[in-house]
Amino acid sequence: MTAVTRAIINLDVKGPVISRHIYGHFAEHLGRCIYGGFYVGEDSEIPNDQGIRLDVVEALRGLNIPNLRWPGGCFADEYHWRDGIGPKAERPRMINTHWGDVEENNHFGTHEFLHLCELLGAEPYISGNVGSGTVQEMSQWVEYITRDGDSPMVALRKQNGREEPWTIQYWGIGNETWGCGGNMRPEYYADLARQFGTYCRDHGENRLYRIASGANVDDYAWTEALMKTKGDLGCGCGRRRNFFQAVSLHYYTYEHHHFKKGKATEFDLDAYYLTMANAQRMDELITRHSNVMDCYDPDKKTGLVVDEWGTWWDVEPGTNPGFLYQQNTLRDALVASLHFDIFHRHADRVVMANIAQTVNVLQAMILTDGDKLILTPTYHVFEMNKGHHDAVSLPVHVASPNAIREVDGKTLTTLSVSASTKDGQALISLTNLDAEATQSVELDLRGLEFTVAGARILTSPALHDHNTAEHLDVVAPQPFQSYEHSGHRLRVELPAHSFATVQLDVTAEATS
Ligand code: AHR
């Protein structure tokens, strides 16, 4: 007989709001993410708007993507924004030394990126160049984009065809400055973050949300160095502001580690469970970085931005090793759903997360094959979880011991649940990581009356199942009926390796 796991959710006891920006994205000048993925150029036969692929835009609009981080990644710290403005034929070429050593023609630059964001309805997140750029260069980029009226940068923007300034909040001060972004020591970078943060001005009504380049995985000393020097700036004008408003964290999921990544579509059960245990580590990392942040910022005013996360596998055979092109299976989808539960649980500190990367690179939402477009299993998790955007989190208490598996000295809990509420509805996300067994979950939903408005499931016979141009819907959401509602209890039978969402209509009436 299958054991039943009991979980309690108080529908009327509210936690912090889950920022929609947890469902953010990342697009780098890397492989076929920008060129061929987002951007095909005006002369392409693929339908486009000023060179931007319309099928990609339409698919991403289905996710309500809240923000898009650009131009890197490592590329950001060798990108000089002035090379990417003005007539395309006159834009200088460069070599993308990080990613494939290929030529970058700069045809996709600031105007193209901000136009893409407008098409997507997403907020831009620009990662500025600290590693090989100057303070002046970054300061002028902010001025070029956000200032109104007249100034040298405004005049240049207008000359390039854009009268009105754009609005932008999210501004990254370098990327992985402990590594590809300059190989700096934390104290040195912390000072640079203050310096660059100072000259990234708020022009007019625009208010920047400056994100300092944060820790690699478990480098808690890096977070501490940043928090220690973050400080308050008394600017002598009656206003106080911080040099930066958030720090970032990067953590990727591999089968083993960076030098033993594993294959995207060929893996055995041990490799699967190892992957899941590694994915679950995100919880520990956020907890411990948050603990460090709490010491300096107990009111949690400084955000933690997980601006790179996701699976990283060996590249697909026959593709450029520098292009990081990988397939995406049901396993990737479960890594994603697990991450979202973790981010929801830490909604008090995690204000944004950006999966790496949106199209054709690493754990992508979309793969393109010429004019064809493939939605990956990961895409479907983002879509099924849309109801959590800006919803109020509902803490989930797993009352009976959650199913546990020992994996290579690590403990993996194989049931993951999170919930939120907004607009008279509640959304419950459930992931069964057990690769072989169904899990019965009894949800005890207290506090308010509810009816089940609908449920969907994402699963497939095999964990390595994935979608291709020939078979687009091998892994796609289906209606889900394996639940029973009785009073305030909802019993759900979660098949092996599956992700399900249950939507409730909630009434304001308290249950007795
Ligand atoms: O996402 C790929 C790379 O991973 C990024 O460029 C870099 O920031 C990270 O190391």
Reply yes or no on whether 308 is catalytic: yes
Distance (Å) from CA 502 to ligand 1 centroid:
34
CATH topology of domain 20-389: TIM Barrel (3.20.20)
φ, ψ for residue 91, nearest 5 deg: -75, 135
CATH code for the part of the protein at 4-11+393-506: 2.60.40.1180
φ, ψ for residue 378, nearest 5 deg: -60, -40
**């490592």: which residue's tokens?**
74
The span from the CA of 34 to the CA of 52, in Å, is 9
User: Residue whose CA is closest, atom 7 of ligand 1?
Assistant: 73
The span from the CA of 282 to the CA of 217, in Å, is 9
Catalytic residue among 123, 176, 255, 383: 176
Distance (Å) from CA 495 to ligand 1 centroid:
34
Reply yes or no on whether 449 is catalytic: no
Across 266-287, b (16+ Cβ under 10 Å) vs e yields ebeeebbbbbbbbbbbbbebbe
Q: Which pLDDT belongs to residue 1?
A: 52
- Which residues' Cβ are closer than 6 Å to ligand 1? 28, 72-74, 175-176, 308, 356-357, 362
> Which tokens in the block code for residue 442?
């009894």
- pLDDT digit string, tens, across residues 146-181: 999 999 999 999 999 999 999 999 999 999 999 999
Nearest C-alpha neighbor of 308 from the set 376, 244, 354: 354
Return the domain boundaries, the chain.
4-11+393-506, 20-389
Nearest C-alpha neighbor of 146 from the set 204, 69, 197, 195: 204
Q: Is 249 in a helix, a strand, or coil?
A: strand
Three-state SS letters, 378-395? HHHHHHHCHHHCCCEEEC
At 278, is the pLDDT very low, low, confident or very high (cuts 50, 70, 90)?
Answer: very high
Residue 44 confidence (pLDDT) above 70: yes
Residue 116: exposure state from Cβ atoms within 10 A (0-12, 13-18, ≥19): buried
- Stretch 313-342: mean pLDDT, rounded? 98
> Which tokens in the block code for residue 151?
């100034």
Residue 232 confidence (pLDDT) above 70: no
Residue 505 confidence (pLDDT) above 50: yes
Residue 264 confidence (pLDDT) above 60: yes
- pLDDT digit string, tens, across residues 187-231: 999 999 999 999 999 999 999 999 999 999 999 999 999 999 887
The span from the CA of 165 to the CA of 435, in Å, is 51
Instruction: Read off the pTM.
Output: 0.96
At 510, is the pLDDT very low, low, confident or very high (cuts 50, 70, 90)?
Answer: low
Q: Work out the mean pLDDT of the chain and round it to a whole number.
A: 95
Q: List C-alpha distances in Å: 410 to 253, 255, 284.
A: 15, 13, 12
φ, ψ for residue 150, nearest 5 deg: -140, 135
